[in-house]
């Protein structure tokens, strides 16, 4: 296999800054590519939270003193526990602010996000074309989500190297801005024969779309599961971009994510109460007790405990949970949730917890320890997403012998094997899927779950089948590696 130099551009990176799975992927995929022998470097904005948390950052490279009117420089750190370089685009006027990567809070966006990520894309392009004073020329620039969408466009100006891959982690977030924001970015009028302010370019119903730039100009476009890659070609899931994605043809494919099997390992997890493995599943009970205690639920070990760890947004099916909770708590089921996001979901869930004390418990916030504890201690993990490009928690759950109950969409359907209805033969099933997005379908799935839970031998089979799945990153990294190689000229 040939080895390549790869620049990985992203807006989040575990453990420095993360709002969801993108941050996890940005840590694990470069690491897996590095293990395969590639030279990988990562670039992301120098947000205040990162500047505050890292005590030593080295200034590197040489950029023009001002770019588009902003003072910009490059800082360098390493990916946690590795020698993989991470470049931080330091532009105090745009990135040194309180809050998260996109806004003050999770449900707020900064008004100048077009300028913020427009500038970020320019700097990624400078690094990608060895014009940042780093004396390094990548073969591939791997861009992720709309925040990096202008990179494939800007790189198109340099006809050959580097090649560009654009990965869509969530098509619903498109980076849409006004025509005046577009004008302020001072992009060329025409790139590679494509007029930018046109529906064949960046224009999307009179707005500028960053994600379209990525899709139109990248050498290859991917998304994070094969199932989602098929779904986004339909009007139901395509968010208005189904036509463009169809036209992208063989340039577009799905590569499923993996999970960090070191960080998520019930046999070696510093966050959980008691370690366990496939042959000591009885010890999982101590983690259930720890969750029950932490969340002030009764300590009934028999009662099915369902957990959830999620951003609280439309995507995640929170409305279904709110509709189902009054019915769920009438059954022999307790429910715990850890999450944060849209204010109205946070409030409605807290209200439900107040209504059903001791049976439903909710923690609003972001907390790594509690996330691990729930994944280890719950009997089942609920993931009722309306749509799910990949999803990581269903894979964590299976690794922990915690049975996922999920809506059969996207990456959820690709990574969970459904149990047959009410059968004593569950074959190699690893979870429960429901196919219609409705409260009744969710409740029916829970009935199937309870049926298996009532039979310890069957339940153990289900848990063990999940634990035997291989969700490591190596397969996905190999698929990306093959894709990169296919983009490079024969002579490489
Ligand atoms: P998405 O990226 O759409 O949010 P994923 O399932 O891909 O969904 O990734 C979510 C990631 O964020 C997982 O690593 C999950 O454990 C983590 N996560 C989500 N909410 C929280 C929370 N409140 N506290 C801790 N971790 C969370
Ligand atoms: C997005 C998707 C999620 C996916 C993650 C990482 O946040 O919503 O399904 O797992 O990106 O690719």
CATH assignment at residue 312: 3.40.50.2000
Can you tell me the distance from the alpha carbon of 151 to that of 163, in angstroms, rounded to the nearest whole number? Answer: 11
Q: Check whether residue 460 and residue 483 sit in a common domain.
A: no
Distance from the alpha carbon of residue 19 to the mean position of ligand 1, in angstroms:
7
Range of the domain at 332: 281-467
Phi and psi, residue 354, nearest 5° = -65, -35
85-90 vs 73-78, strand pairing mode: antiparallel
Which pLDDT score, from 0 to 100, does residue 182 have?
98
Q: What angle separates helix 318-328 from helix 439-453, to the nearest 10 degrees?
A: 60
Residue 371 in any domain: the answer is yes
Specify the residue with its C-alpha closest to ligand 2, atom 7: 21
Ligand 1 atom, smallest distance to 396 CA: 16
Closest ligand 2 atom to Cα of 22 = 6
Distance 141 CA to ligand 2 centre (A): 20
d(CA 386, CA 319): 10
pLDDT tens by residue, the chain, 492 residues = 789 999 999 999 999 999 999 999 999 999 999 999 999 999 999 999 999 999 889 999 999 879 999 999 999 999 999 999 999 999 999 999 999 999 998 778 999 999 999 999 999 999 999 999 999 999 999 999 999 999 999 999 876 679 999 999 999 999 999 999 999 999 999 999 999 999 999 999 999 999 999 999 999 999 999 999 999 999 999 999 999 999 999 999 999 999 999 999 999 999 999 999 999 999 999 999 999 999 999 888 999 999 999 999 999 999 999 999 999 989 989 999 999 999 999 999 999 999 999 999 999 999 999 999 999 999 999 999 999 999 999 999 999 999 999 999 999 999 999 998 878 888 899 999 999 999 999 999 999 999 999 999 999 999 999 999 999 999 999 999 999 999 998 755
Answer yes or no: are the C-beta atoms of 142 and 9 closer than 8 Å. yes
Q: Are 246 and 285 within one domain?
A: no
Residues 141 and 45 both lie in one domain: yes
Q: Are residues 212 and 154 in the same domain?
A: yes
Q: How far, CA to CA in Å, does 199 sit from each of 174, 219, 229, 241?
A: 15, 19, 22, 11
- Return the ligand number nearest the Cα of 10: 2
Single out the residue of 96, 35, 88, 31 nearest to residue 57, CA to CA: 88
Residue 361 · residue 335 · CB < 8 Å? yes
321 in a structural domain: yes
Instruction: Give the C-alpha separation, 125 to 123, whole Å.
Output: 5
300 vs 281: CA distance, rounded Å: 18
Question: What pLDDT score does 106 carry?
Answer: 77
pLDDT of the residue at 193: 94
**Which ligand ends up closest to the CA of 227?**
2
pLDDT computed for residue 298 by the predictor: 87
SS3 305: strand
Q: How far is the CA of 276 from the centre of ligand 2 (A)?
A: 28
| One domain, residues 327 and 362 | yes
Distance of CA 1 to the CA centre of its chain: 28
Residue 264, in any domain of the structure: no
Residues 448 and 477 in one domain: no
What's the CA-to-centroid distance between 418 and ligand 2, angstroms? 21
My answer on whether 290 and 217 are in the same domain is no
Q: Which pLDDT score, from 0 to 100, does residue 420 have? A: 86
pLDDT score, position 273: 98
Helices assigned H by DSSP within 135-253: 150-156, 179-184, 210-217, 226-231, 242-248
CA gap 216, 70 in Å, rounded? 28
In 3D space, the residue among 287, 279, 142, 282 whose CA is nearest the CA of residue 219 turns out to be 142
Q: In this structure, are 164 and 198 located in the same domain? A: yes
Alpha-carbon distance of 342 to 160, in angstroms, equals 43
As a whole number of angstroms, the distance between CA 215 and CA 145 comes to 10
- For residues 220 and 166, is the Cβ–Cβ distance under 8 A? yes
pLDDT at 491: 54
Instruction: Tell me, yes or no, whether 155 and 218 share the same domain.
Output: yes
Ligand 2 geometric centre to CA of 184 (Å): 30
371 lines ligand 1 (CB under 6 A): yes
Based on the fold, state whether residues 249 and 292 are members of the same structural domain.
Answer: no
Establish if 444 belongs to a structural domain.
Answer: yes
Let me know if 344 is exposed, middle or buried by CB neighbors in 10 A (0-12, 13-18, 19+): exposed
What is the phi/psi pair of residue 51, to 5°?
A: -60, -40
- Inside any domain, residue 272: no
- 263 domain residue, yes or no: no
273: in domain? no
Residue 25: the pLDDT is 98
Q: In whole angstroms, what is the distance from residue 329 CA to residue 221 CA? A: 44
Is residue 210 located within the same domain as residue 127?
A: yes
Residues lining ligand 2, judged by CB closer than 6 Å?
20-22, 25, 169-170, 224, 257, 388-392, 411
How many domains does the chain divide into?
2
The answer to whether position 154 is within a domain reads yes
Domain shared by 63 and 168, yes or no: yes
Going through 315-462 in order, the beta strands assigned E by DSSP cover: 333-341, 360-364, 380-383, 403-407, 432-434
């Amino acid at each position: 296999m040939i080895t390549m130099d790869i620049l990985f551009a992203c807006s989040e990176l575990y453990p420095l800054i993360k709002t969801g799975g993108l941050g996890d992927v940005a840590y694990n995929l470069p690491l897996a590519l590095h293990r395969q022998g590639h030279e990988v470097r990562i670039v992301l904005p120098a947000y205040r939270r990162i500047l505050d948390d890292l005590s030593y950052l080295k200034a590197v490279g040489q950029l023009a003193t001002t770019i588009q009117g902003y003072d910009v420089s490059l800082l360098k750190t390493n990916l946690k526990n590795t020698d993989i370089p991470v470049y931080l685009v330091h532009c105090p006027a745009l990135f040194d602010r309180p809050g998260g990567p996109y806004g003050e809070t999770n449900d707020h966006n900064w008004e100048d996000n077009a300028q913020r990520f427009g500038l970020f894309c320019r700097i990624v392009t400078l690094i990608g074309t060895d014009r940042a004073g780093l004396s390094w020329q990548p073969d591939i620039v791997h861009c992720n989500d709309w925040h990096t969408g202008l990179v494939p466009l800007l790189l198109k100006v340099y006809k050959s190297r580097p090649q560009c891959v654009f990965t869509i982690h969530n098509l619903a977030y498109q980076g849409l801005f006004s025509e005046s924001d577009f004008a302020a970015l001072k992009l060329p009028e025409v790139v590679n024969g494509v007029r930018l302010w046109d529906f064949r370019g960046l224009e999307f119903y009179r707005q500028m779309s960053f994600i379209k730039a990525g899709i139109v100009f990248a050498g290859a476009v991917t998304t994070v599961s094969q199932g989602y890659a098929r779904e986004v070609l339909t009007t139901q899931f395509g968010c208005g971009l189904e036509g463009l994605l169809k036209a992208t043809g063989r340039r577009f494919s799905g590569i499923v994510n993996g999970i960090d099997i070191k960080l998520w390992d019930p046999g070696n997890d510093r966050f959980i109460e008691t370690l366990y493995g496939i042959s000591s599943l009885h010890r999982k009970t101590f983690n259930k007790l720890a969750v029950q205690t932490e969340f002030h639920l009764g300590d009934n070990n028999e009662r099915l405990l369902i957990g959830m760890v999620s951003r609280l947004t439309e995507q995640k099916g929170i409305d279904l949970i709110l509709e189902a909770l009054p019915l769920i708590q009438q059954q022999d089921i307790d429910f715990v949730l850890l999450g944060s996001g849209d204010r109205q979901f946070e409030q409605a869930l807290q209200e439900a917890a107040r209504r059903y004390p001791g049976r439903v418990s909710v923690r609003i916030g972001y907390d790594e320890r509690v996330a691990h504890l729930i994944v280890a201690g719950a009997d089942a993990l609920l993931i009722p997403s309306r749509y799910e490009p990949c999803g990581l928690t269903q894979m964590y759950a299976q690794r922990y012998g915690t049975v996922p109950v999920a809506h059969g969409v996207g990456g959820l359907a690709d990574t969970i094997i459904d149990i047959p209805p009410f059968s004593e033969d569950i074959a190699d099933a690893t979870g429960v899927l429901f196919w219609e997005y409705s409260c009744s379908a969710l409740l029916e799935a829970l009935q199937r779950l309870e049926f298996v839970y009532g039979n310890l031998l069957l339940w153990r089979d289900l848990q063990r089948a999940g634990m035997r799945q291989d969700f490591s990153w190596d397969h996905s990294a190999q698929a990306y590696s093959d894709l990169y190689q296919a983009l490079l000229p024969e002579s490489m």
